Amino acid sequence: MAILKIETLGSEVLRRRADEVEVVADDPETARLIEDMFETMYDAHGIGLAAPQVGISRRLIVVHVNEEDEKPFALFNPRVVEAGKAKEKGEEGCLSIPNVSALVERPAEVVVEGVDPKGNTVRIEADGMLARCLQHEIDHLDGILFLDRLSPLKRNMILKKYRKQES
């Protein structure tokens, strides 16, 4: 296991559309990547991490929302197949834009489909923090950051705050 370097705002890989993954069940190299992504995420106190955030432009996310009975899981090629009409605002941060956060509006309920590490298709009906986290991580696979979901005014405020604490 290893803690990987987390790419931060300005890194090109965060803005690229990540490649689809052909999932080979129990591939040892992929299993190691998933383990390393979990270790990196826990080390940074995150609840989700997308492969582009560790410099790998592939459609893979790991998620562990620490509430109720949510278990950690890895998902390949995840996509939102249904989104509820109701939207919800919630506080979001991102390990690639450390120490800033903002209220982001997203559909409150989504259905996500993807492939698990064994190659099985999975369908997740999510609400609350899990729905938010899944949407945030899937955005990463399309080169989208939570900043892009804010009004220009709010985005500039967050960027200013971020740059101030970075310098």
Residue 131 in the binding site for Ni ion (CB under 5 A): no
* Nearest-approach distance from CB 67 to Ni ion, in angstroms: 18
Cβ–Cβ < 8 Å for 40, 51: no
Q: Please say if 137 is a catalytic residue.
A: yes
Stretch that binds Ni ion, among 32-40, 91-99, 104-112, 127-135 (CB under 5 A): 91-99
* Nearest-approach distance from CB 20 to Ni ion, in angstroms: 20
SS3 letters across the chain = CCCCCCCCCCCHHHHCCCECCCCCCCCHHHHHHHHHHHHHHHHCCCCEEEHHHHCCCECEEEECCCCCCCCCEEEEEEEEEEECCCEEEEEEEECCEEEEEEEEEEECEEEEEEECCCCCEEEEEEEHHHHHHHHHHHHHHCCCCHHHHCCHHHHHHHHHHHHHHHC
* Residue number with CB closer to Ni ion (30 or 149): 149
Choose the catalytic residue: 20, 113, 125, 137.
137
Stretch that binds Ni ion, among 55-63, 88-96, 118-126, 159-167 (CB under 5 A): 88-96
* Residue number with CB closer to Ni ion (30 or 53): 53
Stretch that binds Ni ion, among 26-34, 93-101, 119-127, 150-158 (CB under 5 A): 93-101
Q: Which of 18, 41, 65, 94 binds Ni ion (CB under 5 A)?
A: 94
Which positions are annotated as active-site residues? 137
Judged by the rule CB under 5 A, the positions of this chain that interact with Ni ion are 94
